[in-house]
Every structure is written in structure tokens, then in C-alpha cells.
């Protein structure tokens, strides 16, 4: 029997995860079957030239609906979000994009009978009252950032649409995501990306959290794998839907700097904590992702050593060729 053709839309496709997820989906399902959307009219040449791109504002439902109809969309990966640090600078925008955006996506999905939707959550769903080591799947969710508030509410809203309307929605709580293609757009875990670029470019970095700050993290290939695997999982086997803990590694800022130093011995890192320290302190040190492992076979490939080797190889090559855009 011929496999049903998917017509996929990615929101937030110019963002850190969205840009790479769009390309992975185009590779898997065909360029023309994956519509990239974003809050810009100027996507990267790679996104623009490899398949369709449309402007949408997820906070305005009609802009979503227009492209859903035009491209006959049946599957959505909803990646648009204002991250934690920018969200604290502009909580109103954060609520509008994250909350109204998610609500609009769910309503459009319901009205247009989508077959499947992916909406990620984050470690920001947790808060200082959560057990911070090996944080359980079921635990206290009392975030202290607007970003976290929207992520918890988003999880609950997604589960409501699953139970009440029978929509097939899936999502995981991503840790900090590290990658070399597109920089993150204003999160608390951004130091774990910036440190690699600065180490290659300037051999020094001033980190905005303390040396001992420990957070769960994941390398981009595993982040993409989580989204693709969870979306392929047998829905009937899932006990959870929108809130799977997933993790790959956990390290302190100091341990990250020490790992980089193995490749770049002259690299130095200083620590000057700013307002993001308090956010980082309210998030877990490590996560228990056994529910994801049991229910859909989650298994990451990269640890700190393997990720650092790969990151530095790619960035050093780009730097040598004068192509390190940072
Ligand atoms: N990386 C995100 C942030 O720092 C967490 O989901 O805001």
C-alpha cells in the first residue's frame, strides 16, 4: 500500500532548531512536501532555495490558516517561540507568541483535521521547587519565567486537545540545544553554544553563568532525532503526549570549558553571571528521561566529548576558510 503523502509545515523555521529540522524533514519527506514558515520575509538562501517558504505570524491565526489551506497541510512542527532570556525582557511578546501562537496552531489543527502535530516544551517548565537532580517525568511544575509559564500552559493545552478532541499531538521537554548552523535566539542556555564560537575565534569567552552551573544539554543531531522519532512513534503506545523529558548529557560551564581546552589549550573562560544566572539556577541539573526511553525508544548518541569533537572540527574548518559567521 502506498504510504500516505505528508504535507508538513514548520513554524519558526528560521530559528535554531527549526532551520535544521526543516532541512532534515525535506531530506526525509521531499523538499516540496515541507513548507518552511517564519516571522521574516528573508529566510536563509538554503531554506529559500530548497523548498517553499511563507511568512506567517503565529499570533495571528488568519496568517496560519492561509498557508495551511494553500499547501493542504496535514502535519505541523510548531517551533516558533520566544526563549527565556528575551521572554524576561519582553514578557508580553513572549505570552503573545508562545501562548496565542500555540493556541492558534491547535485551533487551526483541529479545524483543518491535521493528522499529527509536534509542539516542543522545555526544561524551563520546571522551577526552583522541582527536584533538580535527575528530575522526574512527573514532578512540580512551578516555573518563574514567562517562557516557562507558557511552556507549562502549552503542555497542558496540548494534552487537553488530545483528550478532548482526539488530536494527535506530541512533544518533549528539550534541554539546552547546542548547534553550529543557526545561533539560538536569546535563551539561558546560549552560553553553551557561544563558548564554542568564541573559543575558535578569540580563544577566550566570558560566560554569563557561574562555573559550577550545571544544566541538561543535547547536541542538534539528537534534538532532530528526538523530534523525528517521537513523530514516528505508535500513538497507541504513548502514555504521555506533550511533555516527555528528554536529555543527552549534563555538564557544568566549567566542565564544558575544560573539554574545549583539550583541543584549544590556550582557551580561557571567565565567569560574569548576569540576570540569566537566576533562571539557570531554577532549572534542573539533570533529567530522568526513562518515560521517553520506554514509550518510544528514545536514545541519544552524543555525550559532551563526542559533541565537542564534532563542534570544534566544523567550526575550526569554517574559521580557517573565513566562513565562521559569528
Ligand atoms: N534553551 C532554552 C532557553 O534557554 C530552554 O528551552 O531559553
- Going from the Cα of 243 to the center of ligand 1, the distance in angstroms, rounded, reads 15
Number of neighbouring beta carbons within 10 Å of residue 288? 18
Q: How far apart are CA 265 and CA 248, in angstroms?
A: 26
Q: What value does the mean pLDDT take over residues 158-181?
A: 98
Region 112-118: mean pLDDT is 97
- The Cα diameter of the chain in Å comes to 59
pLDDT (average), residues 3-21: 91
Over residues 119-141, the pLDDT tens digits come to 999 999 999 999 999 999 999 99
What grid cell was written down for 305?
566529548
What would the mean pLDDT of 175-185 be, rounded to a whole number? 96
Sign of the Cα pseudo-torsion (144, 299, 242, 52, in order): positive
**Is the distance from CB of 178 to CB of 220 less than 8 angstroms?**
yes
Average the pLDDT over 243-259 and give the result: 98
> Which grid coordinates belong to 219?
547536541
Domains by residue range for the chain, with CATH: 8-176+218-245 (3.40.50.720), 180-215+250-282+302-320 (3.90.25)
Confidence of residue 1 (pLDDT cuts 50, 70, 90): very low
Ligand 1 contact via 44 beta carbon (within 6 Å): no
Q: Which atom of ligand 1 is nearest to the CA of 177?
A: 1
* Ligand 1 neighbour 150 (Cβ under 6 A): no
For residue range 32-56, list pLDDT tens digits in order. Answer: 999 999 999 889 999 999 999 999 9
189 in contact with ligand 1, CB cutoff 6 A? yes
Q: Read off the pLDDT of each residue in 90-106 and give the average, rounded to a whole number.
A: 98
Average pLDDT, stretch 279-302? 98
Residue 143 CB–ligand 1 contact under 6 Å: no
CA distances from 295 to 102, 118, 120, 232, 248 (A): 25, 16, 17, 12, 17
Probe residue for ligand 1, chosen from 79, 125, 144, 147 as the CB with the greatest number of ligand atoms within 8 Å: 147
Residues 242-268, mean pLDDT to the nearest whole number: 98
CA pair distance 122, 243, nearest whole angstrom = 8
The reply to whether ligand 1 has any atom less than 6 angstroms from the CB of 16 is: no
Q: Which atom of ligand 1 is nearest to the CA of 283?
A: 5
Give the other-Cβ count within 10 Å of 194's Cβ: 16
Q: Quote the percentage of the chain above a pLDDT of 90.
A: 96
Cell of 146: 514567562
CB neighbour class for 138 (10 Å; exposed up to 12, middle 13-18, buried from 19): exposed
Q: How many CB atoms lie within 10 A of CB 133?
A: 11
Burial of 65 (0-12, 13-18, 19+ CB in 10 A): middle
The reported pLDDT for the residue numbered 283 is 98
Q: Is the pLDDT of residue 79 over 80?
A: yes
pLDDT in tens, 61-77: 999 999 999 999 999 99
What is the predicted pLDDT for the residue at 4? 62
Q: Is any atom of ligand 1 closer than 6 Å to the C-beta of 83?
A: yes
* pLDDT band at 226; cut points 50, 70, 90: very high
Confidence at 326, pLDDT banded by 50, 70, 90? confident
> In the annotation, is 77 catalytic?
no
Q: How far is the CA of 112 from the centre of ligand 1 (A)?
A: 31
Helix (H, G, I), strand (E, B) or coil at 279: helix
φ/ψ of residue 112, rounded to 5: -105, 15
- Atom of ligand 1 lying closest to residue 188 CA: 4
Exactly one of 29, 71, 77, 147 is catalytic; name it: 147
Residue 223: closest CA among 178, 254, 183, 271: 178
Q: For the chain, what is the mean pLDDT? A: 97
Whether the pLDDT of residue 325 is over 90: the answer is: no
Amino acid at each position: 500500500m502506498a504510504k500516505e503523502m505528508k504535507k508538513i509545515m514548520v513554524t519558526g523555521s528560521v530559528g535554531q532548531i527549526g532551520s535544521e529540522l526543516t532541512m532534515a524533514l525535506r531530506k526525509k519527506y521531499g523538499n516540496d512536501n515541507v513548507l518552511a514558515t517564519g516571522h521574516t520575509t528573508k529566510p536563509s538562501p538554503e531554506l529559500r532555495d530548497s523548498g517553499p517558504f511563507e511568512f506567517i505570524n503565529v499570533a495571528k491565526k488568519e496568517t496560519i490558516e492561509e498557508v495551511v489551506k494553500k499547501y493542504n497541510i496535514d502535519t505541523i512542527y510548531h517551533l516558533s517561540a520566544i526563549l527565556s532570556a528575551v521572554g524576561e525582557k519582553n514578557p508580553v511578546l513572549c505570552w503573545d507568541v508562545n501562548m496565542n501562537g500555540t493556541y492558534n496552531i491547535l485551533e487551526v489543527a483541529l479545524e483543518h483535521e491535521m493528522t499529527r502535530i509536534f509542539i516542543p516544551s522545555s526544561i524551563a517548565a520546571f522551577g526552583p521547587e522541582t527536584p533538580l537532580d535527575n528530575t522526574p517525568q512527573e514532578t512540580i511544575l512551578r516555573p518563574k519565567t514567562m517562557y516557562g509559564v507558557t511552556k507549562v500552559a502549552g503542555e497542558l493545552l496540548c494534552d487537553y486537545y488530545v483528550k478532548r478532541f482526539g488530536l494527535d499531538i506530541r512533544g518533549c521537554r528539550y534541554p539546552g540545544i547546542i548547534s553550529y548552523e543557526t545561533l539560538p535566539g536569546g535563551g539561558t542556555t546560549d552560553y553553551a553554544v557561544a563558548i564554542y564560537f568564541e573559543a575558535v575565534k578569540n580563544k577566550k569567552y566570558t560566560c554569563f553563568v557561574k562555573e559550577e552551573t550545571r544544566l541538561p544539554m543535547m547536541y542538534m543531531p539528537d534534538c532532530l532525532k528526538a523530534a523525528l522519532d517521537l513523530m514516528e512513534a505508535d500513538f497507541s503506545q504513548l502514555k504521555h503526549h506533550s511533555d516527555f523529558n528528554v536529555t543527552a548529557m549534563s555538564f557544568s560551564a566549567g566542565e564544558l570549558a575544560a573539554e574545549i581546552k583539550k583541543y584549544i589549550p590556550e582557551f580561557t573562560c571567565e565567569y560574569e553571571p548576569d540576570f540569566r544566572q537566576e533562571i539557570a539556577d531554577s532549572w534542573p541539573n539533570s533529567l530522568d528521561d526513562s518515560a521517553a526511553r520506554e514509550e518510544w525508544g528514545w536514545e541519544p548518541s552524543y555525550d559532551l566529548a563526542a559533541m565537542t569533537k564534532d563542534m570544534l572540527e566544523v567550526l575550526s574548518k569554517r574559521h580557517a576558510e573565513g566562513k565562521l559567521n559569528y
